Amino acid sequence: MASGGGAAARMDPEAATELVRKGSTLVLLDVPQRTLFGIDTQVFSVGPKFKGMKMVPPGPHFVYYCSSSRSGNEFAPTVSFFLITQPSEVIVRKWDAQEERLIKLSEEEEIRYSEAVRRFEFDDQLGPYNLDSYGDWKQLSSYLSQSAIERLEPIGGEITIALESSWMDKAPQSDMERRLMEQLRESKFTKNAPVQAERRGCYYTSIPASVKHKNVSGVDLTALNLDKSSLLESVLAKNYQGQEDLLLGELQFAFIAFMMGQSLEAFMQWKALVSLLLSCSEAPLHTRTNLFVKFLRTFYYQLKHGFQRTQDSRNEDVSNSLFLDEAWFSRDIFLYRLSKDFFTVVFEAPVVDGDLVSWARKLKTLLETTFGWDLEDNAMNLIDEDDEANEVGFHDISGSYYALKNAETMQWSNLLYFHWYVKSRHAHNGIKIL
């Protein structure tokens, strides 16, 4: 039996028993072997005795999984959901072999299994939550309240790219996105998705890409689009009742669903929110300084975790990132230009909040050291999407070759086709749980 128990594995028996009693338990029945199962920042390959997780700290969590073929070489699309656990709570799900997903049980059955858990009947079949990584998860989910999750999650709670056809029906913003959407429409993930009569996507806030006013001069309209502080105020008032933490909660929700749940819809929302915030000049310096301090801290931990380097037993780097692809190292992606312009606003301001400067410096250092970007370079970074020299290619897990013209498109496509267990095996040394 191997697991990523970490701190739990080093506890004395009395402390461990107390943590089992106070922590939440996630009972997952009949999950097939070799299924990839993740909770928060932890990923495992399911073993023959696995029946769930114990010692789960109360609070928000993200569960994600994908079933495997018999050989373990092919995987279904990731299915995921958020949940809020309470102290000593027992949550029960059972594997539906036909639909290849976890389903809820009747209230009577759930009570029966919950009582068995409290009698420790399943204790040796429950993997311990790795408390060593809980700090990372708290940094990624600090604004994920129950109200934020309920406001955003889809009907039924499940997030999966196989049901994101509504995202593909949206008007594409560029040639790059048009090419990607055509590819997604032809993908086997979309073709095999069940037909749903009801909406299944997340209820993300609509973020306008630009400011549009009929009775505003061209000069003023240009100024409003160069500094989107007024658009930010409008979005906060209209969609978040002026509550900054709700916006940050949606930023974290989208990033987690994108990074761990491999949702393209979530990536688009995360990109829209980050782009809006990094396009503001007045708000971070004067009207919404506290929001931007919290945003920079949140954004910093998202990128720090997403791009943490993994090592093998010889302490040599084996991968640049556990969850995100190396295409992000390109200066062609949207983050380079926006972050570069934002740092100029903060660092060149005559008077600026100390915490804002501190987190901006931390973020700038992280981007420079992780991506190798030169954010002091004053040369213009213009992207020509029609430039054949920018074309990149990759193979999906079925062996088909795709030629794409932009590193950002390559990243989106890798989220769909990337056999992500290759990297998670490096990160967890092939951990097989129970």
Q: What's the rounded mean pLDDT across residues 371-379?
A: 74
Residue 407 has pLDDT above 60, yes or no: no
Tens digits of residue pLDDT in 263-292: 888 988 999 999 999 999 999 999 999 999
Q: What is the pLDDT of residues 98-113, one digit of tens each?
A: 888 899 999 999 999 9
Q: What is the mean pLDDT of residues 24-50?
A: 92
Q: Which pLDDT score is estimated for 414?
A: 40
pLDDT at residue 201, rounded to an integer: 84
Of the chain, the percentage scoring pLDDT greater than 90 comes to 47
- Return the H-helix or E-strand segment holding 44: strand 42-46
pLDDT tens profile 157-185: 999 887 776 555 554 555 555 555 565 45
Q: How many residues does the chain have?
A: 434
The fraction of the chain above a pLDDT of 70, given in percent, is 65
d(CA 92, CA 17) in angstroms, rounded, equals 20
pLDDT tens figures, 14-25 = 766 777 778 999
Return the axis-axis angle of helices 264-278 and 289-306, rounded to nearest 10°.
140
Distance CA 212, CA 100 (A): 45
Instruction: Output the pLDDT for position 370.
Output: 84
What would the pLDDT profile of 189-245 be if each residue is shown by its tens digit? 444 445 444 556 899 999 987 666 566 555 555 555 678 999 999 999 999 999 999
CB contact at 8 A, 2 and 127: no
pLDDT at 390 over 70: no
SS3 state of residue 401:
strand
- Per-residue pLDDT averaged across 379-394, rounded? 38
Beta bridge partners of 101: 96
Instruction: Note the pLDDT of residue 432.
Output: 58
Res 192: pLDDT = 47
Answer yes or no: is pLDDT of 60 > 50.
yes
* Model confidence band, residue 42 (pLDDT cutoffs 50, 70, 90): very high
Query: Which two structure tokens, joined as six digits, stand for 1?
Result: 């039996």
- Per-residue model confidence as pLDDT tens digits over 289-322: 999 999 999 999 999 988 765 444 344 443 344 4
* Residue 233 to residue 235: CA distance in whole angstroms: 5
Which H or E run includes 223?
Answer: helix 218-226
User: What's the rounded Cα separation, in Å, for the pair 229 and 224?
Assistant: 8
Which of 425, 387, 430 shows the shortest CA–CA distance to 405?
387
Which of 68-72, 167-171, 343-347, 411-415 tops mean pLDDT?
A: 343-347
| Diameter of the chain measured on Cα atoms | 72
For position 335, what pLDDT does the model report?
Answer: 86
The sign one gets for the Cα dihedral 230, 333, 140, 35 is positive
CA dist list (Å): 226 to 33, 341, 372, 387: 53, 10, 27, 26
Q: What is the mean pLDDT of the chain?
A: 76
pLDDT at 333: 74
Provide the pLDDT confidence category of residue 386 given band limits of 50, 70 and 90: very low
- What distance in Å separates the CA atoms of residue 217 and residue 70, rounded to the nearest whole number? 64
Instruction: Please give the backbone phi and psi of residue 345, each rounded to the nearest 5 degrees, phi first.
Output: -60, -45
Phi then psi for 128, rounded to 5 degrees? -75, 140
**Using CA atoms, how far apart are residues 16 and 10, in angstroms rounded to an integer?**
9
pLDDT at 227: 86
Which CA distances in Å does 63 have to 92, 230, 248, 263? 13, 37, 20, 13
| Closest among 379, 385, 374 to 407, alpha carbons compared | 385
